[in-house]
Amino acid sequence: MGTFLLRRLMRSAVLIVVVTFLTYFLVSLTPGDAAYTLLGARATPEQLQALRHDMELDQPLVEQYWRWLSSALHGDFGRSLLTQQSTSEVLSQRLEPTVSLLAGTVLVSVALGCLFGVLAAVRGGWLGRLVDLVGQMGLAVPNFVLGLILIAVFAVNMRLFPVSGYIAFAEDPGLWIRSLVLPVCGLAFGVIGVMARQLKVSMEEVMQREFITAMRANGYPQRSIIYRHALRNAGLPVVANLGVIVVGMLSGSVLMESVFALPGLGSLLVQASAQADLPLVEGVVVVMTVIIVAVNIGVDLISAWLDPRVVRP
Amino acid sequence: MSAEILSSTPDPDSAAGQRPKFLSKERARRGPYRPATLLAGAWLILITVAAGAAPLLAGHDPLTQDLAQVQVGPGGEHLLGTDSLGRDLLARLLHGSRTTLLGVAVGVGVSVSIGVPLGLYAGYLRGRVDKVASAVAEILMSLPGLIILITVLAVYPYSMIAAMVTFGVLSSAALFRIVRNVTMAVAQDLYITAAKLAGLSRRQILLRHILPRIRPTVVAQTAIVAALALVTQLGLGFLGIDTRPPHATWGGVLQDASTVIAVSSWTVVPPVVVVTLTILAFGILGDTTTSQPYRLTRARTRTGRPQAPRTTRRAPADQLLCVEHLTVVLTRGGGGSILVDDVSFGIGRGEIVGLVGESGAGKSVTSRAILGLQPTQAKVDGFIDFDGLNLLDLTDKELHHLRGRRIALVGQEPMVSLDPTIRIGAQLAEAVRAHQKVGRKESHRLARQLLTDVRISDPSAVADRYPHEISGGMAQRVCIAVALAGNPELLIADEPTTALDVTVQAEILDLLRDLQRERNMAVLLVTHDWGVVADLCDRAIVLYAGQIVEQAATERLFDHSCHPYTAALRAADPHQQQPGRRLTTIGGSVPPPGSWPPGCRFADRCVSVTEECSNAAVPLHLVAEGHITRCIHVRADDKEAHRVP
Amino acid sequence: MSRESSSVPVLELENLSVTYRRRRQAPFEALNNVHLRLEAGETLGLVGESGSGKTTMGRAPFGLVPITSGTVRLDGEDVTHATAKERTRLTARMQMVFQDPYGSLNPVRTIQDTMVEPLLVHEPGTSAAQRAQRVAEALDRVGLPRRAAQRLPREFSGGQRQRIAIARALMLKPRLLVCDEPVSALDLSVQAQILNLLADLRAELQISYLFISHDLAVVRHIADRVMVLYRGHVVEEGDAAAMAARPGHPYTHALLSAAPVPDPRTQRTRRQQRQERLTAPLPTTTGGCVFAPRCPHVIDACDTPPRLTPFRTGGLAACHRMEDLRLDPPPGTAAADHPAS
């Protein structure tokens, strides 16, 4: 178990380095570098040159990246080029809405996805067909379109929830939840469909296996067969896929934040990349990659807990 | 975006390690297309043609603003109305589809041309390429796609092509992984080895054997990549960063509609409908899952037949189980054929009865019908009297109460008969708790006792292991322990030693005999092996093509095989023969259910066949005390009864 | 049985060892220093339980297993490290029939498509008509109707598929046919048909068989000589009938006594005689005799590995006690015990 986790962590570190370097490389290609952004179009070439030298932008890319990486390891992500705010500070302000949105979506979609998946597999019939339909529709309606529809119906027409904006948890937990309901629904709908459908197919396959027949024949309680044995086995591929689902969710959250005007990491990224604010872009990418890494390690731990064959001593 | 659907196919590398379902034999055949697939294809062709002919069809310029007519509804001059700047919506959608579909084509093209060849190569040849490509794919799959695309668009502003090429590279990882896994699964098939041994080169094997098998998967996954490409592009359009502003794309149309959604909800309808239908169409083409609903409850039995009087049937007092006129028929949905035809037999308390036959004879179906575990689409008729209860009249709940407690089952393949994710001790303890009111701790103690009962020398160590950590013989002992947990009066053992090595088989047979004696348990032993019958059974029933053809006490059956089938089958057993001599054979093969001849079902293969054999169904008749057979050529007390040479 | 020491054997394995490397596990030694000599027209039976290495041995001549040391010779030619190109040429001289008749034919290709493959490679000049003719003849040979060529595998029963697999293997008239459990997946009545077919083909085409099976009775029926494998080691080798009459190795004896015979009375005595129960297999061996952990006759000498040495019945056995043990075969083992009618 220890070596398994260690290997996982090593791989995660590699992932973070690769991703941040790629981003660094990409943003460095932006026409008009940071010096240009700071001084504006009227600056003379000499002024630009001087600032570039000050900011060490004239050094090789790999060196710049290395410097960034070593200070990032010490918790210093640099300052925003435009506002001169500390990147870590900006990120910490923007983290809460995104994490709230993601956590809410994961919670809702795992709970409802499992519920519908199991019910559809066990009961079949119209519920099964409904899950199939929602599974496909959930993907066919892009989540930001669904967000728009939710706003039109529940915020504009019925006035049940705010049209947009975010209230921090510390400010008012009730309003915090209200501000999250629609974005979470919009983001979770497709995921619920996908998960329910996947679990249904997986459950149906597991229910045909010999060990389920053996348990039924030998009088194991019906409930235990379905919820303890079949679900556990059927959940394996679904859990394994959770990492990919969260990666997809992260992309979806960028759009959701834009639709609902949530001041999260996604909207920060859109804004920062438009302004070529490299330290901010890097910061967002690091945080998002860390989220993905954390989720993947969590998924691995759950898989290992569900299935003893995953970890070989 | 919703990259998750890409991985909805199981991964052969995953712990569960099952073979992907889409490779199963049924899927190999190309069936008729579903109507949904045809519709989806038609829609995609339609929008592609419309995009190509956009200037001809549109009627309006997509960029001309008419601020006098903003957000007008459908009909009139503007067929679908206008947007917030008074531009014709139909024209914008039609022209927009050109850019959007081009983007999808670029994304899919890049993705397929990287993912498929690399996947094929890595899956078939493995080696270093596979290791490196898999590692890269894993990293790519962990990248937040949209975030990378936004960064790319910051570098190449409004370059939809750059964005979609990037998308193609990112999504090729998932495509690569699926193609690789499917190829790997196919490459392990025996016929690939056979082709290699025929001398075929790698190229020939790839082209002749692997590509045709993985083509359906590639097509389906490509459709899914297309759906993802479209969704991704819409997202970029919605953020307004995919193309320079007045230019139309579907995403842009959606974004424009969203700004005025509170005022005019019509504008959003046409783009949403078009977008949804298109993604749906891709999704349908990419959907390869087949639903096989599995019912936990039994299909209603004895349909279309008046309730027979229940009271008249009472088994003789010494009989524990009395099966009469048992018939199992697949419903029309399941093929409509008869699996078991009018089978009657009894088992006394503490008696071991063998059910012998070849594959397709109906022996497994018969034995499992007793437990109410017939195939999902089967209908069961007749009477199964167990100690005064007609099992076919019981509700599921009543039947469930009997399972394990009075009748238990040991299956053929011990390694797959245990839940792979739970420790042996816990599984066994759960069986104990299902039948006895004991606490958790006590149930674990009893579980270890059961392991001792099945002659496992170190029960505590075995209890702590998982099923994959023990040998096949050990697993079969555990399965027997599970079956014994409820102290059943009847044990159904369905080919309990077939999957085991011969020395292990001997140990399991000894164990079964010892346990049967200790507990005075009746055993119904399903087998195809005459040696096992001779070793264990008091009485044997021979099944052929769903019918009983002969039944007698074991010694009598071995000494006086009456039915030509029994005799021929025993003669075909090499154990009985002089080595080196030609084996006696039975011509042809067992007719599968649904193609049974009307008269004697063995007539086609029988050496003593006469014309009368095929005239009418042959009834069972008594040859001697306790010995019945189904052959018109055998008379009672026939001294000329077939003997094994 | 044609055994002339002067002739060049069809297949010869010398000091062959095969080790599978496994991910994150200790390597698995499937074969340990085995020798095999198969003469022209001879049938050698390979018997053992799962994990004994019998399938590995059957696959070694084809280069399908990782050979760590030793030599494989086909008709005297060293093919241990043959290149891919040479292997293609060799496939005309040796072929294989597999256990699973369902897996060994591509489900989406017709029988004809599958059967012409060897011709495409080895006789590329043949016309389509000639190839069809060859397929038809091959189908005749195994007793299948010619129209079978146009069908898909799923239209055939297990026995019929096995006939097709045999027909394919014989398309190029190989000198050696490796049969890896060819009848284990078949019903009893069909199994006898296939065994007879193999015997007929051997007589007709003068092929050598390496016949692999877990079932001693099946092997004894078809093989001239039998080799018993246990955990990658050859423990006994010799004439089939002689081995049944007087096994030299306790493991052979255990195999003979374990299989139940189809005769209730004989089986009863066999069961009673099987006093020396085998103990449960232990996971590791200490470097001595591989069978020692399960052997009821184990002595101190068994700590050193025994060599395969001649035994008085003419066979070879690897046991320190083979001369002093009296391993009488259980009743019903030799067919002579049965009253022949």
- DSSP string for C251-292: HHHHHHHHSPPS-HHHHHHHHHHTTSPPPPPPS---SS-TTG
Residues 6 or more apart in contact with residue B256 via CB below 8 angstroms: B83, B84, B85, B267
Q: Check B420 against A248: CB less than 8 A apart.
A: no
**pLDDT by residue (tens digit) across C181-232?**
999 888 888 888 999 999 999 999 999 999 999 988 889 889 999 999 999 9
To the nearest whole angstrom, how far is the Cα of B303 from the nearest Cα of chain A? 21
CA distance B221 to B178: 8
pLDDT of residue A107: 94
Residues 6 or more apart in contact with residue B168 via CB below 8 angstroms: B106, B107, B108, B109, B110, B111, B114, B229
Any CB–CB contact under 8 A between C40 and chain B? no
Report residue C134 as tokens: 């060859």
**pLDDT by residue (tens digit) across B72-87?**
777 777 777 777 777 8
Percent of chain C with pLDDT over 90: 49
First to last CA, chain B: 73
Please give the torsion angle defined by the CA atoms of residues B476, B477, B483 and B484, in that order, rounded to the nearest 10 degrees: 170
Q: Check C117 against B200: CB less than 8 A apart.
A: yes
- Walk across the sheet containing C43-47 and list its strands: C94-97, C176-180, C208-213, C43-47, C225-230, C233-239, C316-317, C309-310
By C-alpha distance, the chain A residue nearest B273 is: A141
The mean pLDDT value for C238-244 works out to 86
Q: Report helix angle A143-150 to B269-285, nearest 10.
A: 140
Domain boundaries, chain B: 28-289, 320-406+488-565
Residue B491, phi then psi, degrees to nearest 5: -110, 125
Q: What angle do CA B334, B338, B340 make, to 5 degrees?
A: 120
Query: Smallest Cβ distance to C255: which of B502, B532, B605?
Result: B502
User: HSE of C281 in the Cβ direction (CA atoms, 13 Å)?
Assistant: 19
The mean pLDDT value for B221-245 works out to 88
The amino acid sitting at A71 is S
Q: Check B589 against C159: CB less than 8 A apart.
A: yes
Which residues of A fall within a CB distance of 8 Å from B16? 233, 236-237, 307
Q: What is the mean pLDDT of chain C?
A: 87
- Walk across the sheet containing B378-386 and list its strands: B338-348, B319-330, B378-386, B389-390
Higher pLDDT, B641 or A240: A240
Q: Are C182 and C162 in contact (CB under 8 A)?
A: yes
**pLDDT by residue (tens digit) across B97-118?**
999 999 999 999 999 999 999 9
pLDDT of residue B490: 96
Architecture of domain B28-289: Orthogonal Bundle (1.10)
Q: What angle do CA B500, B503, B506 make, to 5 degrees?
A: 85
Pairing of strands C176-180, C208-213: parallel
Name the H helices within B520-639: 530-536, 554-559, 564-571
Number of neighbouring beta carbons within 10 Å of residue B331: 14
pLDDT at residue A200 above 50?
yes
Q: List C residues 185-204 in contact with B (Cβ-Cβ < 8 A).
A: 187-193, 195-196, 199
Query: Smallest Cβ distance to B577: which of C96, C280, C335?
Result: C335
Among residues B38, B168, B157, the alpha carbon closest in space to that of B104 is found at B168
Number of H helices, E strands in chain A: 14, 0
Pairing of strands C11-22, C67-74: antiparallel
pLDDT of residue B553: 95
Q: Check C121 against B589: CB less than 8 A apart.
A: no
**pLDDT by residue (tens digit) across B129-181?**
999 999 889 888 888 888 888 888 887 888 899 999 999 999 999 999 999 99
Q: Check C240 against B572: CB less than 8 A apart.
A: no
Confidence tier at B311 by pLDDT (50, 70, 90):
very low
Residue B523, phi then psi, degrees to nearest 5: -130, 130
The mean pLDDT value for C301-319 works out to 87
**pLDDT by residue (tens digit) across C117-135?**
999 999 988 899 999 999 9
Q: Specify whether the backbone of A125 is left (phi greater than 0), alpha (psi in -120 to 50) or beta.
A: left
Any CB–CB contact under 8 A between B495 and chain C? no
- Assign 3-state DSSP to chain B and report helix, strand, coil percentages, each to 5: 50, 10, 40
Radius of gyration of chain C (CA): 21
Confidence tier at A72 by pLDDT (50, 70, 90):
confident
pLDDT at residue B63 above 60?
yes
To the nearest whole angstrom, how far is the Cα of B501 from the nearest Cα of chain C? 6
Residues 6 or more apart in contact with residue B365 via CB below 8 angstroms: B328, B339, B340, B374, B375, B378
pLDDT at residue B644 above 70?
no
Pairing of strands B378-386, B319-330: antiparallel
Residue C196 vs residues B78, B568, C35, C175, C220: alpha-carbon distances, Å: 82, 15, 29, 19, 13
Confidence tier at C5 by pLDDT (50, 70, 90):
low
**Which of A27-36, A199-208, B464-473, B596-605 comes out lowest in average pLDDT?**
A27-36
pLDDT at residue C66 above 70?
yes
**pLDDT by residue (tens digit) across B183-210?**
999 998 889 999 999 889 888 999 889 9
**pLDDT by residue (tens digit) across B419-436?**
999 999 999 999 999 999
Among residues C270, C266, C338, C340, the alpha carbon closest in space to that of B555 is found at C266
Confidence tier at B350 by pLDDT (50, 70, 90):
very high
Query: Smallest Cβ distance to B589: which of C122, C190, C195?
Result: C190
Any CB–CB contact under 8 A between B584 and chain C? yes
To the nearest whole angstrom, how far is the Cα of B430 from the nearest Cα of chain A? 7
C151 three-state secondary structure: coil
Confidence tier at C26 by pLDDT (50, 70, 90):
confident
The mean pLDDT value for C21-47 works out to 89
Which residues of A fall within a CB distance of 8 Å from B7? 241, 244
User: What string of DSSP letters covers B572-599?
Assistant: T-GGGS-TTSPPP--SS-PPPTT---SS
Which residues of A fall within a CB distance of 8 Å from B485? 218
CA distance A91 to A268: 9
First to last CA, chain C: 27
Q: What angle do CA B125, B126, B129 make, to 5 degrees?
A: 105
Distance of CA C87 to the CA centre of its chain: 21
Confidence tier at C276 by pLDDT (50, 70, 90):
low
Report residue B8 as tokens: 């909805």
Identify the CATH assignment for B320-406+488-565 out of 3.20.20.100, 3.20.20.70, 3.20.20.80, 3.40.50.300: 3.40.50.300
pLDDT of residue B616: 86
Determine the residue among B125, B188, B190 to mutate to test chain C binding: the one whose Cβ has the most chain C Cβ atoms within 10 Å.
B190
Topology match between the domains B28-289 and B320-406+488-565: no
Q: List C residues 145-164 in contact with B (Cβ-Cβ < 8 A).
A: 152, 154, 157-160
Any CB–CB contact under 8 A between B502 and chain C? yes
Q: Is the pTM of this model over 0.80?
A: yes
pLDDT of residue B636: 63
Confidence tier at B314 by pLDDT (50, 70, 90):
low
The mean pLDDT value for C68-74 works out to 94
C334 three-state secondary structure: coil
Any CB–CB contact under 8 A between B24 and chain C? no
Determine the residue among C188, C221, C337 to mutate to test chain B binding: the one whose Cβ has the most chain B Cβ atoms within 10 Å.
C188
Q: Check A142 against B235: CB less than 8 A apart.
A: yes
What residues are paired with C12 via a beta bridge?
C37, C73
